[in-house]
């Protein structure tokens, strides 16, 4: 079983324990109100940062003690982030929907639910908890499920970050004509980082699709690699949660994009 398969197995087990009745979930979706426009927020700047609340990872283990995720997210917003991402996967990333809710109550900018969304319930749950932007990982969605979950998320008013890791996944992603594609530098089988993924895949994404570089970004030079490859935004988690001054780190990364 691959790391990805193991994570998804845990996601489904956790879903089964907390799953709400269909009527209750539908009521919660209505109560969540209209989604915020994440793509417009990202496009507002020449170059943008999606800043992530991330407690741990399968490759690094515990990253930081985050006693107040909402306070951290406020710092991200103050630093100039266009979107805040919150990991909600519990077993490998230490996240929760509670973290997402706490952040949602405090910040004004759009939010990405970062999780392994692999069925319709998880799509609906994302909107019910106030997600404006949702992650769909191509590697986790065989057959027609990528297209079907993308269509459902869009119908619910969310925008979708479609994540790819290799050439085959990029071709599948382009086949559904998404508005946003994220290229992840992490190999899901080995968990190793290779920034060459950015330089290989990002230039192949048509300019009308918004391009995000994900994972492995910790320095100004990493940001420069992503920008030269065509990234219009970066998604950063580990570097920010380990930083003593995430606002300054975000501002520094944004300054690279202004050069």
Structural domain including 248 reads 3-258
Cα separation, 231 vs 167, in Å, equals 17
Query: At residue 189, does pLDDT exceed 90?
Result: no
Q: If you average pLDDT over residues 190-210, what whole number do you get?
A: 93
Q: Is 119 a catalytic residue?
A: no
User: Of the listed 41, 56, 85, 184, which one is catalytic?
Assistant: 184
Could you say which of 89, 125, 163, 247 is catalytic?
Answer: 163
What burial class does residue 176 get, using C-beta atoms within 10 Å of its C-beta: 0-12 exposed, 13-18 middle, 19+ buried?
Answer: middle
Query: How far apart are alpha carbons 103 and 49 in whole angstroms?
Result: 17
Smallest CA-to-CA distance from 223 within 181, 192, 191, 251 is with 251
Catalytic residue among 114, 169, 232, 247: 114
The residue ranking higher by pLDDT, 99 or 192, is: 99
Q: Where are the alpha helices (DSSP H) in 48-162?
A: 69-79, 97-104, 120-128, 145-155
From CA 6, how far away is CA 40, in angstroms rounded?
35
In Å, what is the CA distance from 75 to each residue of 67, 142, 169, 184? Answer: 14, 37, 34, 25
Choice among 41, 54, 125, 197 that is catalytic: 54
* pLDDT digits 0-9 by tens, 68-90: 999 999 999 999 999 999 999 99
What pLDDT is stored for residue 60 in this prediction?
78
Q: Is 145 a known active-site residue?
A: no
- Catalytic annotation on 192? no
C-beta neighbour count of 213 within 10 angstroms: 29
- Give 98 or 4, the one with higher predicted confidence: 98
Q: By CB neighbour count within 10 A (0-12 exposed, 13-18 middle, 19+ buried), where does 148 fall? A: middle
Mark whether 238 is an active-site residue: no
Q: What are phi and psi of 224, to 5 degrees?
A: -65, -40
Q: Are 39 and 178 in contact (CB under 8 A)?
A: no
Give this prediction's pTM.
Answer: 0.96
CATH code at 220?
A: 3.20.20.70
Structurally, how many domains does the chain consist of?
1
**1 pLDDT exceeds 70?**
no
Told to judge if 75 belongs to the known catalytic residues of this protein, a careful annotator would answer no
Closest CA to 182 of 135, 124, 147: 135
Average pLDDT of span 233-252 = 93
Predicted confidence band of residue 259 (pLDDT cuts 50, 70, 90):
low
Q: Is 184 labeled as catalytic in the residue annotation?
A: yes
Q: Which one of the listed residues 56, 82, 126, 215 is annotated catalytic? A: 215
CA distance 72 to 238: 13
Token digits of residue 93: 């990333």
In three-state secondary structure terms, 141 is coil
Taking only the tens place, the pLDDT of each residue in 108-166 is 999 999 999 999 999 999 999 999 999 999 999 999 999 999 999 999 999 999 999 99
Residue 79 · residue 249 · CB < 8 Å: yes
Active-site annotation holds for 215: yes
Record the tokens describing residue 100, joined without a space. 């997402």
- Comparing 19 with 244, the larger pLDDT belongs to 19
């Amino acid at each position: 079983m691959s790391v990805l398969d193991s994570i998804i197995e845990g996601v489904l087990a956790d879903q089964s324990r907390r799953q709400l009745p269909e009527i209750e979930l539908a009521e919660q979706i209505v109560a969540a109100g209209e989604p915020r426009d994440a793509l417009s927020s990202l496009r507002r700047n020449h170059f943008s940062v999606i800043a992530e609340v991330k407690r741990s990872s399968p490759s690094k283990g515990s990253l930081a003690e985050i006693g107040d995720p909402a306070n951290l997210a406020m710092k991200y917003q103050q630093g100039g982030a266009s979107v805040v991402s919150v990991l909600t996967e519990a077993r490998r990333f230490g996240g929760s929907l509670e973290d997402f809710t706490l952040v949602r109550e405090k910040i004004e900018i759009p939010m990405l639910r970062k999780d392994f969304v692999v069925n319709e319930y998880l799509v609906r749950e994302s909107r019910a908890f106030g997600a404006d932007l949702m992650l769909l990982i191509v590697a986790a969605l065989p057959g027609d499920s990528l297209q079907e979950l993308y269509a459902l998320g869009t119908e619910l008013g969310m925008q979708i970050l479609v994540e790819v890791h290799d050439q085959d996944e990029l071709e599948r992603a382009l086949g559904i004509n998404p508005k946003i594609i994220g290229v992840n530098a992490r190999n899901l089988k080995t968990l190793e980082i290779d920034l060459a993924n950015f330089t290989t895949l990002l230039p192949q994404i048509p300019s009308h699709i918004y391009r995000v570089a994900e994972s492995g970004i910790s320095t100004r030079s990493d940001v420069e690699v992503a920008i030269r490859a065509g990234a219009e935004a970066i998604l950063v988690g580990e570097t920010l949660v380990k930083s003593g001054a995430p606002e300054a780190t975000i501002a520094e990364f944004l300054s690279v994009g202004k050069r």
